[in-house]
Amino acid sequence: MTRVQILGAGECGLPLARRLLDGGILVTLVTDRDAEAVLSGSVTSTQLKFPRTLDLESAAGLGHWRTLAPDVLGIRFTMVVEGSVVDQWSGRFSRPAQSVDQRTAHARWLTDFVAAGGELDLGSPSVPEIDSRAAGYDLTVVTRASGELAACFADDPRWTLPTEPARRMAVFYLDGVAPDPDGLGTYVALPGLGELVSAPALTGPPGQERRCETLLFAAIPGRPLDIVDARGTAAARWQQARELLDSHLPPAFSARFRVGELTDAGATLVGGVTPVMRQPIGTLPSGRPILGGADVVCRMDPGGAQGANNAVHCGTHYGRAILDNPWGPFDRDWMAAAAEPWLTDIAHPAARWTLTLLDPPESLGRLMLAASRDSSIADAFAETFVHPAGSDLLTGTPS
């Protein structure tokens, strides 16, 4: 029987492992944390999943929160300059998006995977150990990697990307924030400073989930919005964030968020993301090929809200490719064919859109101005987050 080893238990690795297990494939999932450790850890993102992604999860039996998580119906865009609103409009998605704390989702999926008979291997194996173990599997899929393992995947020469994070992120999960009256997420542009993004979400241990509000400061490095200290305590970080709200937002905006309280001790995250585009086929020291997916191949700044969606689609594409060819061979030609549809249809358009959003051309500025006068344009802009492949007029091609 075919045996597959998956490294990484995130938005790609976990659903992929469960799809393969349900399809009769023997699966070993390698990760450094069990469900209990995931729940007791810190938040990992402000993921917002769009309708197509939610549909994929539901079809795989993983959409446990579709009737529980608050719907996000669209985006309320606001431009603020020196504390005053200079432009504002709202765009609606064609169907609602949702956000579930990845600690909640991943803990549930891990628990269910083991209960269904999946093999969970806890640890952080070295590249030589992975190479040795890979000989016992028909296929190794790497969905999470850093350092030596990531170096097994060559950069994609078609892309020229920033070598430093475009934004410094500070993430907060908050109780006590009043819901947006229209069920919208918030996107505040602060020219020269960065952005502030929020959306309702679901958090808490499986079976004890509750509504919260996620808040993301996306600061241009070195500018006044970039003050949240990664070394500080969670409480100190939130105090710094409150000061930013009062300093840079109109009072009505600041008042809505600053009354919030952290959902738990792990409700903050500070850091930056350097974008990466790698080739999907890696090579271990022995010469054995491995298939890369999700952030290993395409890592994007979270400000474009594409990372979790990209990973889920990757897991779905790879799952279908494996189950359509369950006996292999899983050679380099097969890997290239398995990765190409995901890269072409999902990952590359999402990466181009994210780069465009963080460094907008004049065409995007004109579109934003038009959106304030025409609700159909506002809705079309909101839908670009849902389906970045439709944004070719703005994004062009990689250079």
Q: Is residue 183 part of a domain?
A: yes
157/291 same-domain check: yes
Q: Could you give the count of Cα atoms lying within 13 Å of 20 in the half-sphere of its Cβ?
A: 31
140/78 same-domain check: no
Three-state DSSP state, 55 = helix
39/152 same-domain check: yes
Separation of alpha carbons 63 and 61, rounded Å: 6
Return the pLDDT at 390.
64
233/354 same-domain check: no
210/297 same-domain check: no
pTM metric for this prediction:
0.94
Return the pLDDT at 372.
87
Q: Is residue 215 part of a domain?
A: yes
Cβ contacts of 12 within 8 Å, gap of 6 or more: 143, 293, 294, 311, 312, 314, 315, 318
Task: Give the number of other CB atoms < 10 A from CB of residue 160.
Answer: 9
Return the pLDDT at 391.
55
Return the pLDDT at 363.
82
Q: Is residue 267 part of a domain?
A: yes
154/221 same-domain check: no
184/283 same-domain check: no
| Run of H or E including 195 | strand 194-203
93/217 same-domain check: yes
Return the pLDDT at 102.
98
Residue 327: CATH number of its domain: 3.50.50.60
Separation of alpha carbons 128 and 108, rounded Å: 31
353/367 same-domain check: no
Residue 97 β-bridge partners:
72
Residue 122 β-bridge partners:
31
Separation of alpha carbons 383 and 35, rounded Å: 34
78/210 same-domain check: yes
Separation of alpha carbons 212 and 376, rounded Å: 30
Return the pLDDT at 32.
95
Task: Give the number of other CB atoms < 10 A from CB of residue 157.
Answer: 8
Q: Is residue 321 part of a domain?
A: yes
Q: Is residue 368 part of a domain?
A: yes
What token pair was written down for 318? 């790879």
Domain range for 46 is: 3-62+100-162+275-358
315/338 same-domain check: yes
| Run of H or E including 94 | strand 84-97
Residue-by-residue pLDDT tens, the chain, 399 positions = 899 999 999 999 999 999 999 999 999 999 999 999 999 999 999 999 999 999 999 999 999 999 999 999 999 999 999 999 999 999 999 999 999 999 999 999 999 999 999 999 999 999 999 999 999 999 999 999 989 999 999 999 999 999 999 999 999 999 999 999 999 999 999 999 999 999 999 999 999 999 999 999 999 999 999 999 988 899 999 999 999 999 999 998 999 999 999 999 999 999 999 999 999 999 999 999 999 999 999 999 988 889 999 999 999 999 999 999 999 999 999 999 999 999 999 999 999 999 988 888 888 878 888 888 899 999 999 999 998 876 544 544 333
Strand ranges of the sheet holding 281-283, from the earlier edge strand across to the other edge: 119-122, 26-31, 3-7, 139-142, 289-292, 281-283
Cβ contacts of 227 within 8 Å, gap of 6 or more: 219, 240, 243, 244
Separation of alpha carbons 339 and 350, rounded Å: 15
Pick from 272, 306, 323: which residue ends a domain? Answer: 272
Q: Is residue 239 part of a domain?
A: yes
- Find tokens 């097969």 and name the residue: 334
Burial (CB < 10 A; 0-12, 13-18, 19+), residue 196, is buried
Pick from 272, 306, 335: which residue ends a domain? Answer: 272
29/168 same-domain check: no
Cβ contacts of 147 within 8 Å, gap of 6 or more: none
Provide the domain count of the chain: 3
Q: Is residue 399 part of a domain?
A: no
Q: Is residue 398 part of a domain?
A: no
Residue 192: CATH number of its domain: 3.30.9.40
Return the pLDDT at 251.
93
Pick from 213, 247, 272: which residue ends a domain? Answer: 272
